Structure 1
Amino acid sequence: MDQKHAIIKGAFILTLTGFATRFIGFFYRIFLSQSFGEESVGLYQLIFPVYALCFSLCCAGIETAVARNVAASSSLGDKKRAVIFLYCGLFLSFLPSCIMMLLMQKEADFIASFFLGEPRCAPLLIIISYAMPFAAVHSCICGYYIGLKKTRIPAISQLVEQIARVCSVFFLYRYFMERSLSAGISLAAVGLVMGEIFSSLFSLHAFRKEKRQTLLPASAVLPQKPGSWRNGMRGILQTSLPLTGNRVLLNILQSTEAVSIPAKLQIFGFSVSDSLSIYGVLTGMALPCILFPSAITNSISTMLLPAVAEIQAGGSIKKLREVIRKVFFCCFALGLACCFAFLLFGQLAGELLFHSQMAGQFIITLAWICPFLYTNSTLLSVINGLGKANISFLLNTAGLLLRIASVFFMIPLSGIRGYLWGLLISQGTVFLLCLMYLGLYIASICKKENRGVK
């Protein structure tokens, strides 16, 4: 299967699953907002920057490193080495994730009070900490299959995670209501843990089943030479350490942004309850609605990283330029179509789906970021696939700094609308910077080829 068909097939599978999970998640968020209230949803959303930061420390860089190294090994026909990279990734992420789980539980009160500024988040942090080891296993196995361009297992595991999360919360809520017990937003945190448990168990089962079906001897999976493991560890660490450092710094900035929004809304004049409600409507209702179509672009981004890595290894600048051009125009056209759709029907969507006029207003304002938001994910994936993780880090940091500036300077002056326009400016800036860098990169490669011909 050539590069084009591999990307299309993989993206198609991931897109179908992405739409299915987002469709389920859409009604799940409606259920949360109606069952627990906007303020409780705001509290629940407030813990995710901490979870994302902890996940980045333990797993995120390693998942990408596994995918990239497995893709390189697979392109050379070395399946044995690809499996070694998976095992090394599992070892390097599972142990730190267990340590992180214990640290989150021990310091939950401190994180909730001094970092999030909301002591009511402490029990939620303790609950979601149990998801960390399972998330590590799930992410590494998904990285392995993405590297092989086999998206069926990651896609199904994503669906399993979402179904397990929603069903567990729904049945627990019914159980509590039938017995007249108090059912708080902590049930949503329990659902997150259940989703990671089921998805990791499914991923492990699928991997073990595949290995049994291929009838590989033990020596094919567990190499005799210690150097194979050493090289595998080195390969994962060399790729993952800069990625992890970048992800951690980005998540620190994102966390600063997220926890500052309610605080700055209070400076603008809202109460604690109102500021959490606005934050909950923005992050739990309006943004998921805007991000719903990005299931397509996220799927393309996932498949682009290993594909670009292989194209770069083959040295075909023509093929690389063709892939970038086609992906850019498709994603930008999708963004424009969604922008017009949200401008026309955003208010109706907010009131009909979430019974919130505020959500509709947010959706209309956020509609303008769609062309940039949907295209940026694929452009950044191309840059990562070229092995330029530091460049993508710098571009993401530039966008985040603009968003943080809007939180600190625009929210106190004009409320949440100042932050929404800050989002638009940041996405537009990242969009232009990505295009400039890729244009310069391709021009420099073409210049080198021309010199070689001469």
Structure 2
Amino acid sequence: MIQKNTIIKGAFVLTLTGVVTRLMGFFYRIFLSRAFGEESVGLYQLAFPIYALCFSFCAAGIETAIARSTAASRSLKDPGRTKAALYSGFTLSLLLAFALMLFIQKEADYLSCRFLGEPRCAPLLVILSLALPFSVMHSCIYGYYIGQKRTKLPALSQLLEQTVRVGAVVFLYWFFMDRSVHTGIALAAAGIVAGEAAAALYCLGNLRKAGDMASPERLPLGAYKKGLGEILSLAVPLTGSRVLLNILQSVEAVSIPVKLQAFGLSAGESLSTYGVLTGMALPCVLFPSAMTNSIATMLLPTVAEIQVTGDVPAMKRVIKKVFFCCFSLGLLFCLALVVTGNFIGRLLFHSAAAGHFIITLAWMCPFLYTNGCLLGILNGLGKTNISFAVNVTGLLLRIGSVFLLIPLFGIQGYLWGLLASQAAVFALCLAYLRFFFFTL
């Protein structure tokens, strides 16, 4: 009962924040599409995978490792182990972030021309790179508090990051418009820097104020080495997974406009179609997943704690309840989006294509909303290699649809690939969890 209440309480806080931030993000994307145009939104979306790849290398695996290590240490009542893991992971992540920031700033032109095939992305990459140190600080502290099941600071930091990001871009846009100064989509990249900086400084201030960063020298050097070893043992497969996934996602993002041109669209039409899909339709379909993502976030420390105690029946009960909750929610929103997709596309985005995309993507909602929780369970069990294999399988199906189906069927072929990918991840996760508990 305690575990259930903890998940519900933590998920409620994160869900409430997630709904608010996604609402802000939802209307923010409408603002971007109207202020800068679909093609500019497509450029922004094209540059973003490079930033996401660098972030994954610096922090994605380390954040999860800190969360799981903190949860296990909390269950064993070992604060020294918790601090050692936090400091070690934080320092490593920050060093990697600064190194990649300098690399991107130096090689932005090469990356934009050679890998993205679009020279106009270079200024966006330079600006986005400035957000890396702040984003990894935010990420590591976020993981630490999630591992302790203290969701107030993670929730407020997310809200602050989104508020500053959106507010800065909207303010600067109107500020320059009043002075008849032309601005481009680079403002959106600058907004990310502002948002991550605000969130990182807020998290650092609260961490120091709470005393969690006090007196690190009290721990012997051996404790930090042990903490670093623990973080690396968990983070390396996760980071490898996230990096490979982001490389594949980058290949996917770059290839979609190219393959749309092979289908017969012009370069401008290809970018516009890509912008409508990733900047309008997908955020709409992903919006309700704020709740399931929050549950998945709380599941990781909960499963890690239960695993330490060895209470298998309790773990099975938690997993079953979460599964049926997420799958039912996915079915509900699937029906809602199928019915209202065209209306949403016309009303919010003034785009018939967006409405068509929303209706097609709606059918993956039951799988999409459940997969986050299933993968969170696997990571909580420490099965990061399995999670990696499942994610790669799903992404390879998506990339296959890009190269094989888009030239034949246009963007519709990619939508079919997305649905097949989510269904495959769903089936593989269920199959492994059934095998895992059967062998216990």
TM band (smaller chain): over 0.9
Deviations 1:190-215 (A, max 9, x none): 00110100000010111111118xxx
Contact 2:73-2:81 at 8 Å conserved across structures: yes
In structure 2, the CA distance between the partners of 1:217 and 1:125, relative to structure 1 (3 Å rule), is closer
Deviations 1:100-129 (A, max 9, x none): 000001111111111011110000000000
2:245 is the alignment partner of 1:250: yes
Deviations 1:261-318 (A, max 9, x none): 0000000001110000000000000000000000000000000011111111111111
2:177 is the alignment partner of 1:183: no
CA deviation after TM superposition for structure 1 residue 217, in Å: 7.0
Which range moved further: 139-148 or 241-250? 241-250
Give me the CA root mean square deviation.
1.1
In structure 2, the CA distance between the partners of 1:379 and 1:97, relative to structure 1 (3 Å rule), is same
2:168 is the alignment partner of 1:173: no
2:353 is the alignment partner of 1:363: no
Structure 2 residue ranges without an equivalent (≥5): none
Of 329, 332, 338, which aligns to 1:343? 338
CA deviation after TM superposition for structure 1 residue 429, in Å: 1.0
CA deviation after TM superposition for structure 1 residue 232, in Å: 1.2
Contact 2:75-2:308 at 8 Å conserved across structures: no
CA deviation after TM superposition for structure 1 residue 41, in Å: 0.3
2:61 is the alignment partner of 1:61: yes
Of 398, 405, 420, which aligns to 1:410? 405
2:117, 2:19 → 1: CA distance?
A: 35
TM superposition score normalised by structure 1: 0.95
2:89 is the alignment partner of 1:89: yes
CA deviation after TM superposition for structure 1 residue 81, in Å: 2.5
Q: Which residue of 2 aligns with 1:240?
A: 235
Q: Which residue of 2 aligns with 1:299?
A: 294
Q: Which residue of 2 aligns with 1:79?
A: 79
Residue identity (%): 62
TM superposition score normalised by structure 2: 0.98
Q: Which residue of 2 aligns with 1:146?
A: 146
CA deviation after TM superposition for structure 1 residue 222, in Å: 3.0
Q: Which residue of 1 aligns with 2:266?
A: 271
Q: Which residue of 2 aligns with 1:229?
A: 224
In structure 1, give the amino acid aligned to 2:384.
Answer: A
Q: Which residue of 2 aligns with 1:47?
A: 47
CA deviation after TM superposition for structure 1 residue 19, in Å: 0.1
SS at match of 1:273: helix
SS at match of 1:384: helix
Q: Which residue of 2 aligns with 1:433?
A: 428
SS at match of 1:258: helix
Deviations 1:62-105 (A, max 9, x none): 11111111111111122233122111111110011001000001
Contact 2:80-2:219 at 8 Å conserved across structures: no
Contact 2:208-2:214 at 8 Å conserved across structures: no
In structure 2, the CA distance between the partners of 1:295 and 1:224, relative to structure 1 (3 Å rule), is closer
SS at match of 2:364: helix
1:339, 1:239 → 2: CA distance?
A: 35
2:237, 2:395 → 1: CA distance?
A: 19
CA deviation after TM superposition for structure 1 residue 257, in Å: 0.9
CA deviation after TM superposition for structure 1 residue 224, in Å: 4.3
1:324, 1:414 → 2: CA distance?
A: 39
Q: Which residue of 2 aligns with 1:334?
A: 329
The alignment of Structure 1 onto Structure 2 pairs a total of residues equal to 440
**Residues 280-319 of structure 1 mapped to structure 2, 5 A cutoff:** 280-319=275-314
2:427, 2:225 → 1: CA distance?
A: 41
Q: Which residue of 2 aligns with 1:137?
A: 137
Q: Which residue of 1 aligns with 2:393?
A: 398
Deviations 1:152-178 (A, max 9, x none): 101100000000000100111011101
SS at match of 1:234: helix
In structure 2, give the amino acid aligned to 1:243.
Answer: L
1:24, 1:443 → 2: CA distance?
A: 44
Which range moved further: 223-232 or 118-127? 223-232
CA deviation after TM superposition for structure 1 residue 235, in Å: 1.2
Which range moved further: 71-80 or 368-377? 71-80
1:322, 1:101 → 2: CA distance?
A: 44
Q: Which residue of 2 aligns with 1:38?
A: 38
In structure 2, the CA distance between the partners of 1:348 and 1:106, relative to structure 1 (3 Å rule), is same
Contact 2:128-2:193 at 8 Å conserved across structures: yes
In structure 2, the CA distance between the partners of 1:267 and 1:314, relative to structure 1 (3 Å rule), is same
1:109, 1:377 → 2: CA distance?
A: 35
1:393, 1:25 → 2: CA distance?
A: 28
